[in-house]
C-alpha cells in the first residue's frame, strides 16, 4: 500500500494548520523556509483564518527542526513582535470592516452630489422647498 510522500511535510503542523497553509500556497517545507514563519503566519491570517500563536511557533519550530514548545521564550517574543510589526505595517481588516468601507465609499459621492445639486432625495419632504405664501 503506497502512502503519501511525507518527505517534505511541514513538521509540527496539524491537519487544520496544514489545510490553511495549503490554501495560501505554503505546501512544503521549502515553501515555509522561503517565506519564513512570520510571513507564512501572516498569509494565513490575511486569508481570513484565525490561527493561534501556536501555529506561528510551530512554523518557527519546523524551520529550526524542533518542537514548538522547545523554542526559547526570547525566540517566541521575537516571533510575536515580528507578527505585530507585520500587522501594524499592513493592518488586517475583517470582512465586516471591508464591507463598511465599501459602503462608505459608495454612499459618500452620492451624498455630496445630492447636496450640490439642490435636488431632494427620495425620502426628503416634497413640500420642503415651497413657501407657505405660494400655497394660498
> Does CATH number 3.30.70.1290 belong to domain 15-89?
no
Query: Taking the model in full, what pTM does it have?
Result: 0.67
Q: With cut-offs at 50, 70 and 90, classify the pLDDT of residue 125.
A: low
Q: Name which of 46, 25, 34 is nearest 90 in CA terms.
A: 46
pLDDT in tens, 57-114: 999 999 999 999 999 999 999 999 999 999 999 887 777 777 888 888 887 655 545 5
Q: Report pLDDT for 99.
A: 80
Q: What is the dihedral of CA 39, 85, 61, 57, to 10 degrees?
A: -110
For residue 27, is pLDDT > 80?
yes
- Residue bearing the bigger pLDDT, 94 or 36: 36
Amino acid at each position: 500500500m503506497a502512502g503519501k510522500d511525507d518527505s517534505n511535510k511541514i513538521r509540527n503542523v496539524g491537519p487544520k494548520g496544514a489545510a490553511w497553509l495549503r490554501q495560501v500556497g505554503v505546501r512544503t517545507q521549502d515553501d515555509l523556509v522561503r517565506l519564513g514563519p512570520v510571513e507564512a503566519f501572516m498569509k494565513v491570517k490575511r486569508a481570513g483564518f484565525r490561527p493561534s500563536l501556536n501555529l506561528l511557533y510551530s512554523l518557527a519550530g519546523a524551520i529550526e527542526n524542533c518542537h514548538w514548545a522547545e523554542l526559547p521564550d526570547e525566540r517566541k517574543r521575537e516571533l510575536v513582535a515580528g507578527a505585530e510589526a507585520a500587522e501594524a505595517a499592513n493592518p488586517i481588516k475583517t470582512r465586516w470592516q471591508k464591507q463598511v468601507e465599501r459602503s462608505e465609499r459608495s454612499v459618500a459621492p452620492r451624498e455630496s452630489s445630492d447636496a450640490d445639486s439642490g435636488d431632494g432625495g427620495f425620502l426628503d419632504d416634497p413640500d420642503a422647498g415651497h413657501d407657505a405664501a405660494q400655497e394660498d
